[in-house]
Structure 1
């Protein structure tokens, strides 16, 4: 497998402003693998410490804040060599180790010559707790599910991945590339981007084992729900989680608590929902009232959508069988195109610093699926699950905010093209959105 995040890790290693690194991401997204692979490629050796497997290692951080003594104890207890600059030190499963996390402050201040990376499941939950935390003394990095381009490489289609990444003009994609990319995207909808299902599919082509692996990941997440400090929240988290396919199957995908349970109220379930957000198992997308800057200033906090961390997990949670792969466009259009919206949102989350929003009005009803903030511009996005599309909501959005729309973006199964100020991006090129916007803006300015 190849993960593009290795380039960011290398930039961290060589930065003169490097601090201890905290790597976040959901369970089984590949945090440990990518850190070990990074260490193998770019360091003389890796010193790996798992605080779940070896709980006794926690004591070294309880008794002292002297980082040299901590490292000496760890080295002797594990028989691993630790050298400044030459060793990548990995602290894994640190989510229940506040003293380990807090020690990053002292590594940053007193031993910057050591290269340290921390990882752990549910780290977002741990970091949300009001415990001692080394503010300003660490770097953060997010590990997300594999992108479509990474999936292509794992699937033996490096030529297609390279082609997507080298496009430098807005012009139609030749059929020799368009058709196989369209088919491979359906395959990605089936497997998703979690590394283990991708590995099983690309190596063995075994649908049943791949399905079982996705189910096991979902079950592992559901077991984690019980780790909420308030046991009363556990059933609420489960109900929200299981309602997500139903929420996204609605024509209007706005999250409704009554879909979770009849008569449910926000105040009863908002803590449970926040747990899922902090765990990064779901993404929360607020409705925006206007395309102003900063985009967060125009959030309607009472209206939002919820998407899953990965399109393959959403397909499995929704019990949509992989056989839909062979039924034309069904994977793209099934339950109101929810898989497609979820896929697009996944790709946007990894490309832009600011979390996307959406825009809608009730009377008459119009909705723009996403708004993205790129530098100091806001771009409206419409997601279509089919080809031959019309974009009434994009048109209405421009009528209402003519001075704030440099470019409108539509994802669909149509080919790549720039029609006046509407940039149509084939769904399989969603991961190149930032680059394509740049190309389109240059073309419009000529």
Structure 2
């Protein structure tokens, strides 16, 4: 399966400022596979060391900080040869190996000729701890579940991907492309972007096997919760996790601790929730009080929404049957469009550096699903799960912030069009958001100049 992160890895390999790489990503998102595949394609050989399977390897990092000695020991014990520039060294499952992570400092300073990449599933948790971490001595990269574009490629729909790639004008998508893309998006909602789940669907077309894969991944995450150093947090993490579908099924999707457990207080559950955020199993989207920069300065930290790392896992966790496949728009509307919102957030997170926010006001109630920062502009985004797209909230937002609103964006099942300053993006084009905003802004600037 083709993963677009390989281009970033190639850039890392060729950079004159390359440092040891730390690849972060949740369990089963394809970290090991992509590093091995990258090594296979771009290096003479790969030296792979897994610290979960071979705990004794950790000792080589405990007794010395001398990189050459560490490498010599690893070569002798594994029988793998390690050559500067020509070998990709992969250290896998390093989340419980502070000495290995710390040694990256010495690789960076004393042996930059070696290409080293580390991976681990709960690295976000490890890195959130203030241990002797090699600050400034590593490059970070994040691998997320497969995007809809990657899903299409895995499904053999390169023609659809090529069509979307070449779009450079905001014109309606012809039915010959619109209809199949819409159908495939329904499949993506059901399957999600976890590589093994995608494999079961695209290679085997086996719905039961795909369901089982998703169940197994959810079980593996539950087992990971138990790894929390404070054992009393484990049931809390589990309860928050299981409450996410019901949090998102509410009309107002703001996270409410009482949904986790009757009478639950924020201070009892904050740490458990933070653990899930650090593990990047969930995305936390704060309410913004105003669309101004820096965006974080206007966060209302008491109000936020929680989304899952992957739309397929959300569907499985919600016990939604895959049969929703065949039922028209039902899949998009199911539990108040939560799958759609989760899907849109997932793709925005991969395209924009700053985590999206949302905006609302209570009396009378208005809500804009997401605010994104692109360069030095903030754009309001509304997510509609159908074709019925009248919307008071995004109109109200523009009335309140006319100068800050260069362009408004709506995701829906309507066709691609720019209507005044409202850009409608069909849901299956969400991966192209950044590019489409660029085209829309150019068009608006052109129109302003001619008037």
Partner of residue 181, structure 2: 181
Partner of residue 346, structure 1: 346
Partner of residue 360, structure 2: 360
Q: Give the alignment of 1:211-360 within 5 angstroms.
A: 211-360=211-360
Deviation at 1:131, TM superposition (A): 1.1
Question: SS state of the match for residue 135, structure 2?
Answer: coil
- Cα deviation 1:123-142 (Å, max 9, x = unaligned): 10111112110000000000
Rounded Cα–Cα distance in structure 2 between residues aligned with 1:164 and 1:145? 20
TM value normalised by structure 2: 0.99
Deviation at 1:76, TM superposition (A): 0.6
Partner of residue 396, structure 1: 396
Rounded Cα–Cα distance in structure 2 between residues aligned with 1:172 and 1:26? 37
Rounded Cα–Cα distance in structure 1 between residues aligned with 2:128 and 2:229? 13
| Superposition RMSD in Å | 0.4
TM value normalised by structure 1: 1.00
Deviation at 1:391, TM superposition (A): 1.8
Matched, 1:114 2:114: yes
- Cα deviation 1:179-214 (Å, max 9, x = unaligned): 000000000000000000000111110000100000
- Cα deviation 1:273-304 (Å, max 9, x = unaligned): 00000000000000000000011110000000
* Over 4 Å off, 4+ runs: none
Rounded Cα–Cα distance in structure 2 between residues aligned with 1:100 and 1:162? 42
Partner of residue 145, structure 1: 145
Partner of residue 425, structure 1: 425
Rounded Cα–Cα distance in structure 2 between residues aligned with 1:308 and 1:388? 26
- Cα deviation 1:87-130 (Å, max 9, x = unaligned): 00000000000000000000000000000000011010111112
Rounded Cα–Cα distance in structure 2 between residues aligned with 1:163 and 1:225? 42
Matched, 1:371 2:371: yes
Rounded Cα–Cα distance in structure 1 between residues aligned with 2:94 and 2:132? 14
Q: Give the alignment of 1:2-17 within 5 angstroms.
A: 2-17=2-17
Rounded Cα–Cα distance in structure 2 between residues aligned with 1:410 and 1:71? 53
- Cα deviation 1:128-176 (Å, max 9, x = unaligned): 1121100000000000000000000100111111111211111000000
Question: SS state of the match for residue 197, structure 1?
Answer: helix
Question: SS state of the match for residue 231, structure 1?
Answer: coil
Deviation at 1:388, TM superposition (A): 3.0
Rounded Cα–Cα distance in structure 2 between residues aligned with 1:341 and 1:275? 23
Matched, 1:135 2:135: yes
Could you tell me which runs of 5 or more consecutive residues in structure 1 were left unpaired when the two chains were aligned: none
Rounded Cα–Cα distance in structure 2 between residues aligned with 1:85 and 1:436? 39
Rounded Cα–Cα distance in structure 2 between residues aligned with 1:169 and 1:16? 37
Rounded Cα–Cα distance in structure 2 between residues aligned with 1:285 and 1:231? 27
Partner of residue 31, structure 1: 31
Could you tell me which runs of 5 or more consecutive residues in structure 2 were left unpaired when the two chains were aligned: 447-451
Partner of residue 126, structure 1: 126
Deviation at 1:237, TM superposition (A): 0.4
Rounded Cα–Cα distance in structure 1 between residues aligned with 2:117 and 2:107? 11
Question: SS state of the match for residue 28, structure 2?
Answer: coil
Rounded Cα–Cα distance in structure 1 between residues aligned with 2:243 and 2:162? 38
Partner of residue 18, structure 2: 18
Partner of residue 449, structure 2: none
Rounded Cα–Cα distance in structure 2 between residues aligned with 1:165 and 1:53? 41
Question: SS state of the match for residue 226, structure 2?
Answer: helix
Rounded Cα–Cα distance in structure 2 between residues aligned with 1:166 and 1:266? 48
Q: Give the alignment of 1:68-107 within 5 angstroms.
A: 68-107=68-107
Partner of residue 168, structure 1: 168
Question: SS state of the match for residue 272, structure 2?
Answer: helix
Partner of residue 196, structure 1: 196
Rounded Cα–Cα distance in structure 1 between residues aligned with 2:150 and 2:212? 22
